[in-house]
Structure 1
Amino acid sequence: MPGPIAASPAPATSPGPQLTVRRLVLLSIPAILIGVLSALTLRVLDLIAGQLDDVLWTSMPKALGIPSDSPWWIFTVLTATGIAVGLVVWLVPGHAGPDSATTELAAAPLPLWVLPGLFVVVLLSLAGGVSLGPENPIIAVNVSLAIALVARIAKAVPPQLVGALAISATIGALFGTPVAAALVFTGMVGEFKMGGSLWDKLFLPLVAAGAGSVTTFLLGGGFGATAPLPAYGTPQAFDLLLGAIVACAAAAFGLVGIYLFPLVHRAFHALRHPLLYIALGGVVLGLLGMVGGPITLFKGLEQSGELLADPDAYPPGQLALILLIKMAALVVAASAGFRGGRIFPAVFLGVAAGLLGGALLPGLPLSLAVACGVLGLVLAIARDGWVALFVAVAMVGDITVLPMLCIIVLPAWLVVTWAREMLITPADLARERPEAALPWSRTRSAG
């Protein structure tokens, strides 16, 4: 199933080096190294963001005698986060890299001097409650660091392969799905100038993703069901229909946000100056947070665990409100110049959509309903079937739903395949600002 991560096929070239057993073994060394280092970078980001999160949402309100879930404290922190991110994007060299709204997971390497600013704005966004995940920026950081490092110690390894390994390793570390991380490259491996079977070409990305995933879990991180639901049990034919309804409805809801995305992006960027439109984004996120409460803040992984820990505590009306607020927060955060990824919030949206579907369709087992909700939202927003399938299984912690999802994904894919991606294209930039469509101005238009 194609997705935005896949690259277009390369023109025919002469056969490159064969992937012999000896060559695979030798290349496995940098693959493992890249996997471990990618996971370490991600873990450092998580730990520092967690410390800053504790200061902003626990220590400071406690010292001031303010409840951390106070609507006005939520508004204050998100507004201040918008101003801080805007200042970094405006003033720091490199302007924190390209606007994440214009980038996919398969990031191009950035100059090393751009990375500190990018790292800082991601920290601020993660700790400040912005509804974006770390995936796009941390992949860009890891790709850039891996290419620079390997170029110094192993010049024989092609930079294209190094970048692919870093992407695969980071996806494995982020989502705990090393198989999915390798499979997203099924459309890219044809460009590797190496002979051998498809398995041979996927072997190294799988090694890097596995190393990244294992390292993350060993360091105390990880992605998955924080509150596993009851096991799905024996598949039932009628569940295919009900599950397809939930997945397709979730995907269709995701498309609403996707079609609003370029319009909201254009509205924010009409202000031209990054401090203005990012600060305004913080204000709008603060207002949304006042309405939706703490459950609608942050990247959404821990908040997904809260929803799954006590599904009965959230009636359908509240789940519908959470869905609307979180989708609005995702679109605003992604449009207003914050740096971050869209998959983690999509997972939260999918969990909420699945719980709502399970409440409205009581004949559908809750674990399958949640998995179908995650499948539909991630499929719409990430536009990658492999990641959607494996993340959906990981969130419910039940492998028995996978055969059902492999069938349910088909109608859900038909819902999203004709629609635009959640990505600001050069054509969109040209409509916003004609000069922004020029390659040299892409980064400048982000900051």
Structure 2
Amino acid sequence: MGNARTLLLLTLPAFVVGVASSLLLIGISRPAEALSHLLWLHDSPWWTLLLLTLGGLLTGLILWKVPGHGGPDPATEGLVAPPVPLTAVPGILLALSVTLAFGVSLGPENPTILANVALATALGHRFLPRVPDRAWTAFALAGTIGALFGTPVAAALLLSEFSSGDETPLWDRLVAPLAAAAAGALTTHLVAPDQTFTLALPAYRGFQPIDLVSGSVIAAAGCALGLCAVYALPRLHRSAHRIGRPVVLLTLGGAVLGVLGMIGGPITLFKGLEQMQELARERTAFDAPGLLLIVAVKLVALVVAVAVGFRGGRIFPSVFLGVALGLLAVALVPAVPPVLAAACAAMGVCVAVSRSGWLSLFIGAALAGGAELLPVLCVAILPAWLLATGRPEMRVEAVASPDPG
């Protein structure tokens, strides 16, 4: 009974953290979106080059001048990182705002989680010191994931992969974080209800045995594509960081992203959520060579953005990569259902990049817009997971920070 009372008492602060996590995400994303609408009035290749170069310069200045230097190098961290000092939070959020507004191929997830974990841990330690730091971290992570995906299910699945280090039953560990995730998701639905992962593709025509084969092949291809990024990141990161000054490195990196944007077009810019919806809606306007170009450009842009130090997450652009690859598969083999191809390819890419089977499976189901494809996805993820098993993660070993400037 005492344990139930403890769990019940933890749900209230968890709920508060979930709401706050969602509000911080919305409070960063919406102004950045508004700024991007102002910045991207011109749709010319040279304007793309100019804005991304300027975005690199601004990010470099933030990493140089703002306390905390924008937090840890994102290339050295996974989805969850240790809490950072509160003084680093403004720089993290400023750098993320530049990423979102200036069209960098990264999403909001990692910096938002980092900021929410820092705030929840610091404030929680002050007002409820008996609650351990790992609990505040779990609340902030769950709340942010719930807000990002609009459902607590993704957070519950992700948290189930982490070990608590003790014999606490799984659901005892999940009750309070699930409350945080639900609060984050509900807050997002109330304040920003227009974000959706479901693709505007023809409904699944129903299961056929061949879907197990095509889905598995496409998921494995997505994983192989993601592994290209995994293996390329450390090499490019090592080469890029020979430039010892973040301002110079980020400006050059922004210029490279600008050139890539000129080649791939506007659809290869930004985090990829709105762009993958556009790709799905207008899929007949893209032929196989065009889709191959989009995949290649977005893959390189993702690796470059992470390697040079732009602040942002890898999940959203990975999902876009998967959707583009899935539609490329349909362009090559029209008999494959588009929703199956997109969901399986995105799932495969996310397996390689996130190394989270549950999160990848959830993303595939979310893109499909229902549970009808779930049995096929559960089979299709297996070859992708086997391909990724034993491979390195998409991160590099932390290196000494260069002198700013």
Q: Give TM-score, length-normalised by structure 1.
A: 0.87
Structure 1 segment 7-406 matched on structure 2, within 5 A? 20-58=3-41, 68-191=42-165, 196-221=168-193, 223-225=195-197, 227-406=199-378
Q: Deviations over 1:208-239 (max 9, x none)?
A: 11111111111114643464322214221111
Residues 176, 222 of structure 1: 8 Å contact kept: no
Give, in angstroms, the shift of residue 108 of structure 1. 1.2
- Distance change in 2, residues 1:340/1:303 (3 Å): same
Residue-pair matches, total: 405
- Distance change in 2, residues 1:155/1:259 (3 Å): same
* Residue type of the alignment partner of 1:163: T
Residues 216, 222 of structure 1: 8 Å contact kept: no
* Residue type of the alignment partner of 1:211: A
- Distance change in 2, residues 1:391/1:25 (3 Å): same
Q: Which residue of 1 aligns with 2:395?
A: 423
Residues 78, 283 of structure 1: 8 Å contact kept: yes
Provide the aligned C-alpha RMSD in A: 1.7
* Residue type of the alignment partner of 1:320: L
CA distance in structure 1 between the partners assigned to 2:87 and 2:2 by the alignment: 35
* Residue type of the alignment partner of 2:22: A
- Distance change in 2, residues 1:386/1:203 (3 Å): same
Residues 64, 404 of structure 2: 8 Å contact kept: no
CA distance in structure 2 between the partners assigned to 1:365 and 1:54 by the alignment: 34
Residues 318, 346 of structure 2: 8 Å contact kept: yes
* Residue type of the alignment partner of 1:98: P
Give, in angstroms, the shift of residue 91 of structure 1. 1.5
Give, in angstroms, the shift of residue 25 of structure 1. 1.3
- Distance change in 2, residues 1:229/1:31 (3 Å): same
Give, in angstroms, the shift of residue 267 of structure 1. 1.5
Q: Deviations over 1:175-208 (max 9, x none)?
A: 22422212222243423x6x65211212222111
CA distance in structure 2 between the partners assigned to 1:178 and 1:222 by the alignment: 17
Q: Deviations over 1:101-123 (max 9, x none)?
A: 11111121111111111111110
CA distance in structure 1 between the partners assigned to 2:134 and 2:347 by the alignment: 30
* Residue type of the alignment partner of 2:146: G
CA distance in structure 2 between the partners assigned to 1:214 and 1:19 by the alignment: 29
Question: Structure 2 unaligned runs (5+)?
Answer: none
Q: Which residue of 2 aligns with 1:3?
A: none
* Residue type of the alignment partner of 2:345: G
CA distance in structure 2 between the partners assigned to 1:125 and 1:345 by the alignment: 12
Q: Give TM-score, length-normalised by structure 2.
A: 0.96
- Equivalent position SS for 1:400: coil
Q: Deviations over 1:120-145 (max 9, x none)?
A: 11101110000011111100000011
Q: Which residue of 2 aligns with 1:61?
A: none
CA distance in structure 1 between the partners assigned to 2:2 and 2:136 by the alignment: 16
CA distance in structure 2 between the partners assigned to 1:379 and 1:445 by the alignment: 35
CA distance in structure 1 between the partners assigned to 2:311 and 2:227 by the alignment: 21
CA distance in structure 2 between the partners assigned to 1:19 and 1:237 by the alignment: 51
* Residue type of the alignment partner of 1:338: F
Q: Percent same amino acid at aligned positions?
A: 48
- Distance change in 2, residues 1:227/1:131 (3 Å): same
Residues 102, 424 of structure 1: 8 Å contact kept: yes
Structure 1 residue ranges, 4+ long, deviating more than 3 angstroms after superposition: 444-447
